[in-house]
Structure 1
Amino acid sequence: MMIHANKKHIDKIDIDDELIKIIDEKSKNVISLIQKNIEKYSSVAFANSLGAEDMVLIDLIQKNKLSVEAFSIDTGRLPPETYNLIQKVEDKYQFKIKLYFPDYQKIESYVNTNGINAFYNSVDLRKSCCAIRKVEPLNRALKDKKVWITGMRQEQSQTRFALKEEEFDEVHQSQKLNPLSTWSELEVWAYIKINDVPYNTLHDQFYPSIGCAPCTRAISAGEDIRAGRWWWEDPQNKECGLHVK
């Protein structure tokens, strides 16, 4: 069952005993995986992009009092709904999401040289923008961190179908955990419904994947869940550089 990020569809999810059992088992696996790495490495960070998957992880981490630092990257071009969600999450769970920002001088140079929306003009310019607004702040956030957690899933796109639950990140020389790698979209939204987890209201407007405002759009029925990200590019290019091999 594909849930195309709309509250009407979410409300119609049939939460039966079998689904509850699956989610319970997978949730325990997530907790166990994270706890194992905390005990082994101690320094664990969660790169929270505030998508639906990340909200599941926030809920599991906070409810189980796991010693994980949650951070997010404010690119400077996030939609207002994302900022509203940050406040909502902090109020509900009573903790702070640490925010990292891009280097303003690099942004000034990029915009003044290429234009305010230059990322539409070529893949190289788009990736350069992502490198400044996302990758460099991530590198700072992960400095000295031995483990980092993401909310990525295998079925999100063709660039992630081989995603492992746990792998070594050569770029950052750290362990990388993808605890929800085998979760289905149905399971993610069922968890959110069962546990009354806050989520980005753009999901109710058919935005299954949310990034920077100018690089994200709503999708139509039948489209891939990542179709709304950098929709003017070939699907094989649809990564921002945060998760390179």
Structure 2
Amino acid sequence: MKIAVIGGTGLIGSQVVKILNATGHEAVPHSPSTGLDLLSGKGLAEALSGADVVVNLTNSPTFDEASPAFFQQTMDNMVTAAEAAGVGHAVILSIVGADLVPDLVYYRAKVLQENILKAGPVPYSIVRATQFFEFIDSALSWTSDEHTVRLPATLVQPMASADVAQAVADVSVGAPLRGTRDVAGPEVFRLDELGRITLAAHGDQRAVVTDDTAGMFAAAAGEALIAQPGAVIAKTTYQDWLAR
């Protein structure tokens, strides 16, 4: 099976390409470094020529008000090109609970991305994942100074990017779901407590202050970011990932 992986040189994409090629498929990574600009459409027809599946793992360069326009343009380009190329399956990666956090423009943008795919002519699958372990440090940096890290008590269920990549690869080689598959980590944390675990693992002496107005994830209420029954639960725990 030939699979075009757009965003195939990034954190998730590079791992998806490796998994697919190791299992006998022909996964080809595409990105600006290979000559594909999904925003303008340059190189898209060539990237999708002969592909059975297209996997779109590109992301908006910002989380702000510019993100909806990015996803609108890139998805319109991808869906049009995929139909023209006769691609039989289109896959995107989204976020668990994206539709439950309307106060975050980036989450609204991801829902827009999903809806464009759903409304299009190409059979599709959507993989929704929880936050990646690899991004925890970035989340801590948003509301920190030299003495403290302020974090909300938002519930999160993070997972390893390797497990996200495996889930995307598995869906990519299957029949189109014509729906959504949720994947999540095996443990639920309060974000402030996860911050304390992370700082301790790094030998960082800063204090974590619980602040339910701090950072992007403060907008997520209750169990919005937690996987619901039926989700695929990954095996890698945060402590195991830290130990590696």
TM > 0.5: no
Structure having the larger proportion of residues in strand: 2
The two structures have a TM-score, normalised by structure 1, of 0.30
Larger RCO (alpha carbons 8 Å, 6+ apart): 1
Structure having the larger proportion of residues in helix: 1
The two structures have a TM-score, normalised by structure 2, of 0.30
